[in-house]
């Protein structure tokens, strides 16, 4: 049976695109933890289709490798702020945190967020400076900046005495950051650092089995799966246990199977021992913070913090004239079942029934968090409508408050005026600027989340795609009066049903920017473009050229179409107004007016 002293639990954290998943990928290959089929894939930890397409980690995952007789449980965490709740929960299962920083960019906003969590919990800090193979890399500067950041965040002397390696996940090498450059040993120096500098897990003295659930997963065959680190004792298949939830009476059940990770696979084991990170099945109503222990044993542990949702949208059945033509799942009952199933294991997501019949309010951490759910459902064949996101307020001592965010914008000097003007319109206050080089600045703004919805797409348009935008939640503040961040342009709305024709579209494109092409089917109330002014225009896009039996002395006009607007799901969510909806089907995303009789 596995010995607790031979276990290391390590969480890997970093800012978006600093190479967490790529680095874990190389560690798995170095330790020969992948099967022959898995070894042919890139970024094997991003197994979700949307993770591969978006190039980000959405769900935190646990993998494990064996290195020199030691089992290393590695927790890969998301780097995007919308999935920060995943980081906060799973970091409690670790005894140390490996902070990865880009050798070119240095510490970024999300680096600060996750490092603060690790320092507050007193975890051991380790550092890996990634992407040192890039010509402009400055690993020494990145380590100095990270040291200054740790000091600012209140790290103690032991945490500041961190070991560090320089590495390249792309080229698969690592070496001691404070020693000579040596790229011949692969990722061995990084693995040795994890084994030699991280202590084995601390466990309780008692022999009774105790585990607290930090993460949930779901399987069509096994149901809900509870994941956590064993605090004391051991768990085995068929064991009769008690589940203690904060403020509730104990529930009695039986464990069906015990699993732990081996590479990318979840493997059934005879015993889940103290200190190891395991998964339990058979507990149908298990939840985050639940304590699983033997019957008759009473244990009290501090409940885990779960990020409260700040943004909500309304899901409803699709009632447009094109309803049922592209999707397979249309009924309100099936829509509700799918949403409640998602909320059962995605604990940062809340689902409630709205006042309107057949409408469900879904709350999450941000537009990307909700966009991932919507995209997953449309790929599963669901067809539904979604409203514009609304911000969830809270009341404190009779005063209404709303969530605020810090927004970091890296842009060229020539675009600074446009960026500051746009942020001022959204009621975001300019805090300060920091020069990055002779031609670029990092601007910091503080503003209400209500105004910063969809800011990424807007700023990329203003800066010709060159800006880098990062946001960070900072809590609640005084609510600002008035509408903020609403669209400043009207829309072009189809006044009938039929096929859009180029004869009409060529003249309509002079009134705004179109979203449809020649031959697309449209219906009455569908939004087909953005107007040039702030007024909604109902237009006929189905009129064709009148054909008459007469000779013309001049050639017919050449009807040319300009480039059309293409919105991603997240862009559409924040572009529409409160009186509009997004029609989501497996084949299309359409915008339409909400209240209109077809």
Over residues 241-263, the mean pLDDT reads 88
CATH number assigned to the domain covering 4-197? 3.40.50.300
DSSP annotation of 273: E
Q: Quote the mean pLDDT of the chain.
A: 86
Residue 598 has pLDDT above 60, yes or no: no
Segment holding 317, helix H or strand E: strand 311-317
Query: CA-CA distance, 175 to 182, in Å (whole number)?
Result: 6
Question: In this predicted structure, what is the pLDDT of residue 488?
Answer: 83
CA 525/CA 514 separation, integer angstroms = 15
Mean pLDDT of 43-69: 69
| The pLDDT of residue 135 is above 60 | yes
**Residue 335 pLDDT:** 93
Which residues does residue 265 pair with via DSSP β-bridges, in sequence order?
Answer: 262
Q: Residues 211, 241: contact at Cβ < 8 Å?
A: no
- Identify the pLDDT of residue 296: 84
Average pLDDT over residues 155-176: 90
Domain boundaries 210-294, CATH class: mainly beta
Q: What is the mean pLDDT of residues 118-122?
A: 86
Minimum mean pLDDT among 113-117, 379-383, 460-464: which range?
A: 113-117
Domain ranges of the chain: 4-197, 210-294, 394-478, 491-593
Task: Report the pLDDT averaged over residues 575-585.
Answer: 92
Q: For 394-478, CATH number?
A: 3.30.70.240
Q: In CATH, which superfamily holds the domain spanning 491-593? A: bipa protein (2.40.50.250)
Which pTM does this prediction carry? Answer: 0.82
pLDDT at 522: 94
Q: What is the pLDDT of residue 454?
A: 85
pLDDT at 582: 94
Is the Cα dihedral 482, 486, 487, 493 positive or negative?
Answer: negative
Interval 202-215 mean pLDDT: 86
Query: Is the separation of the CB atoms in 31 and 191 below 8 Å?
Result: yes
Q: Which residues contact 482 (CB under 8 A, 6 or more apart)?
A: none
């Amino acid at each position: 049976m596995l010995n607790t002293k031979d276990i290391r639990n390590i969480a890997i954290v970093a800012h978006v695109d600093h190479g967490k998943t790529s680095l874990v990928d190389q560690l798995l290959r170095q330790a020969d933890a992948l099967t022959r089929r898995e070894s042919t894939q890139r970024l094997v930890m991003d197994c979700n289709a949307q993770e591969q397409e978006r190039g980000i980690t959405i769900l935190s995952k646990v993998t494990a490798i064996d290195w020199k007789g030691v089992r290393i449980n590695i927790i890969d965490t998301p780097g995007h702020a919308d999935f920060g709740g995943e980081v906060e929960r799973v970091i409690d299962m670790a005894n140390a945190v490996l902070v990865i920083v880009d050798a070119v960019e240095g510490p970024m906003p999300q680096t600060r967020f996750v490092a603060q969590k690790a320092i507050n919990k007193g975890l051991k800090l380790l550092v890996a400076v990634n992407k040192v193979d890039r010509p402009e890399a400055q690993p020494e500067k990145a380590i100095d900046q990270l040291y200054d950041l740790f000091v600012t965040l209140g790290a103690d002397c032991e945490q500041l005495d961190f070991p560090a390696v320089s590495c390249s996940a792309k080229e698969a090498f690592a070496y001691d950051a404070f020693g000579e450059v040596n790229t011949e040993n692969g990722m061995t120096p990084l693995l040795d650092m994890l084994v030699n500098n991280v202590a084995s897990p601390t466990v309780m003295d008692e022999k009774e089995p105790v585990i607290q659930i930090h993460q949930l997963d779901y399987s069509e065959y096994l149901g809900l799966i509870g994941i956590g680190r064993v605090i004391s004792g051991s768990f085995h298949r068929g064991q009769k246990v008690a589940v203690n939830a904060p403020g509730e009476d104990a529930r009695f059940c039986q464990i069906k199977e015990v699993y732990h990770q081996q590479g990318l696979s979840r493997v059934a084991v005879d015993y889940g021992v103290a200190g190891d990170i395991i998964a339990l099945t058979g507990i149908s109503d298990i939840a985050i913070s639940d304590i699983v222990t033997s019957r008759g044993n009473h244990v009290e542990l501090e409940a885990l913090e779960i990020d409260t949702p700040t943004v909500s949208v309304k899901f409803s059945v699709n009632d447009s004239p094109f309803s049922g033509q592209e999707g397979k799942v249309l009924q309100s009952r099936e829509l509700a079942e799918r949403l409640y199933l998602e909320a059962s294991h995605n604990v940062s997501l809340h689902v409630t029934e709205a006042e309107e019949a057949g409408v469900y309010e879904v709350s999450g951490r941000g537009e990307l968090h909700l966009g991932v759910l919507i995209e997953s459902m449309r790929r599963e064949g669901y067809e539904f409508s979604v409203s514009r996101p609304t911000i969830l307020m809270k009341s404190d001592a009779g005063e209404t408050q709303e969530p605020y965010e810090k927004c970091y914008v890296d842009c060229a000097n020539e675009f600074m005026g446009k960026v500051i003007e746009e942020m001022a319109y959204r009621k975001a206050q300019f805090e300060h600027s920091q020069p990055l080089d002779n031609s670029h600045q990092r601007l910091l703004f503080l503003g209400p989340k209500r105004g910063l919805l969809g800011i990424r797409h807007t700023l990329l348009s203003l800066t010709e795609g060159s800006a880098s935008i990062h946001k960070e939640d900072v809590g609640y503040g005084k609510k600002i009066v008035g509408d903020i961040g609403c669209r400043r342009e009207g829309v072009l709305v189809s006044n009938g049903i039929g096929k859009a024709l180029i004869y009409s579209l060529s003249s309509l494109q002079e009134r705004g920017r179109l979203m449809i092409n020649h031959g697309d089917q449209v219906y009455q109330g569908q939004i087909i473009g953005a107007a040039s002014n702030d007024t909604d225009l109902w237009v006929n896009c189905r009129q064709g050229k009148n054909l008459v039996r007469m000779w013309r002395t001049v050639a017919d006009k050449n009807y040319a179409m300009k480039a059309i607007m293409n919105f991603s799901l997240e862009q559409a969510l924040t572009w529409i107004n409160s009186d509009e909806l997004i029609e989501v089907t497996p084949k299309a995303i359409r915008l339409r007016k909400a209240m209109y009789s077809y």
